[in-house]
Structure 1
Amino acid sequence: MKKHTKNLPAPNRDILKGALAGLIGGLVATAARTVAERVYPPHPELARQESKATKLMPWVLGAAAGAAYGALAELYPQVTDRHGANFGMTMMAVTHEGVLPALGLAERHAQQEGREQRSEMVTHVVYGVVCETVRVVARRAL
């Protein structure tokens, strides 16, 4: 008679190391996304007037999301499919369809102009791919 046991993570999986690698990836990815927004800005004709808190928010959110992604990747490696692009698109959906409009900090995606939608999509994919690339390198180093 076989005993049924819970599927436990493999011994080489370490959620804390994954979270740290994801945090590092999230910070580097936020820097890459910032550069990508300068190359392909959502509103090229408008200079954004941002407060210090508004400038800090993408860094905090990017680092926290990267850490959560890194921890999740330890348990469910399939979240890293498409080399992080899915993660970037998920971040766009969560932030631009949920969190930011709820806080009154952005319009819903459907209310944005075409260029703004494309810019958000491209820069979030850059975020996801860079986060995954750096996460893999950092995780191997840890």
Structure 2
Amino acid sequence: MAKEAHQLTHPTHSLLKGAVAGLVGGLIATGAKTLAESFYPPRIHGERNPTEVTVEKLGADSKQTSSKKAQAEGVHWAFGALAGAAYGVVAEVYPQVTARNGITFGMTLMAFAHEGALPALGLSAEPKDQKPREQRSEMVTHVVYGLVAETVRKVVRKAL
């Protein structure tokens, strides 16, 4: 009886289930972040979108604007999905990562991507060079991403 109770409160970890739940959460969270950005856009003064810069650096034809935009959207959604999948895997082995209902995850992702990797790769401005409004928008929309990713991940993981 004690062993059964332990299994109910401590389910077996599954990296695959965690990845799937996180991937679904990441996709839906990317949609939520995109929607939030439509109400509170991060770039309103002509700043370039990091995903468009990424596509250009990967060799997209700059003359085909519609193709470039579609590829940039693909990069945006793929990054959100993969970040969610990685989060789901980590949540399986280190559940503390889900603290604050995913807000910590969203803020960490923002720090890693927008304040670290993207500027280091020359894909966006350094945080000190960004306008305060852009910084606030990135923070708010990443909080939305984290909250939605965790909420969906938790529901999907329980269903698996």
How do 1:52-131 and structure 2 match up within 5 A?
52-131=70-149
Separation (CA, whole Å) in 2 of partners of 1:46 and 1:63: 27
User: Percent identity, aligned pairs only?
Assistant: 59
- Structure 2: tracts of 5 or more residues without a match: 1-9, 53-67
Identify which range, 28-37 or 94-103, moves more after superposition: 94-103
48-57 vs 126-135, which deviates more? 48-57
Write out per-residue CA displacement over residues 102-137 of structure 1, whole angstroms, 9 at most, x where no aligned residue. Answer: 222211222110100000000000000000000001
Where 1:91 maps in the other structure, the secondary structure is: helix
Separation in 2, partners of 1:116, 1:27: 23
Report the TM-score, using the length of structure 2 for normalisation. Answer: 0.77
Q: Which runs of 5+ in 1 are unaligned?
A: 1-9
Aligned equivalent of 2:40: 40
| Matches of 1:121 and 1:11, distance apart in 2 | 33
Give the secondary structure class of the aligned counterpart of 1:12.
coil
**How large is the Cα RMSD of the aligned pairs?**
1.8
The 1-side partners of 2:92 and 2:78 are apart by: 22
Displaced runs of 4 or more, over 4 A: 45-50
CA displacement at 1:48 relative to structure 2: 6.7
Structure-1 separation of matches of 2:158 and 2:24: 13
Matched, 1:17 2:35: no
TM-score between both structures, scaled by the size of structure 1: 0.86
Residue identity in the other structure for 2:142: H
- Equivalent residue pairs, number: 133
Q: Note the C-alpha offset of 1:11.
A: 5.6
Deviations 1:78-110 (A, max 9, x none): 000000000000000110122211222211222
